[in-house]
Chain A
């Protein structure tokens, strides 16, 4: 699955640690998400969508 996490985070000038803190996950997890090597669970995907104020499908797309 592809995602726009890195772009969205950069637009807000947040560090990985900042985003991790808002999501309640570790910085390593944010890194794994951004590189597309780890797909989040549905609850975490909803949380990400809420943090960025966008629908899930605007952040995550199928390969």
Chain B
């Protein structure tokens, strides 16, 4: 239990924006470094890229842990609830939508922006599901706080 004599002020929206910003910067740095240092043929390039991405993710997780430990218990509960119900529901909706579109692929013409190679389309599908997941998460998070006002 924390020391009651010196309660710490919980993190606010500024800290959340800091986490988002730090994640973007770390991702950008890892991407740029991979473009320069990982641009080698064979397993060396793959290993360098993997190492850079792993380092960026470790740094990102460290920032997330700092933020998570700094928010209060109701804020944590809102995020956990939103991730489970909103994130899972969003992922389900996105997955079903994508699978439905795939089953009717011969009748669809995919937008060129989704990519032309199987790998590009695979990544686009993942990003699409992630967007649904984040949309569900955001809605559920807002709903939790509205319900608990």
Contacts and interface: CB of A to CB of B under 8 A. Distances in A.
A2 interface: no
Interface residues of A, number: 22
Contact of B4 (A21, A25, A40, A50): A50
B7 A44 contact: no
A29 B73 contact: yes
Contacts, number: 53
A41 B9 contact: no
A28 interface: yes
A14 interface: no
A26 B2 contact: no
B143 interface: no
Interface of A: 21-26, 28-29, 31-33, 35, 37-38, 40-41, 43-44, 46-47, 50-51
11 contacts: A23-B7, A24-B2, A24-B7, A24-B8, A25-B72, A28-B74, A35-B148, A38-B74, A41-B73, A44-B73, A47-B2
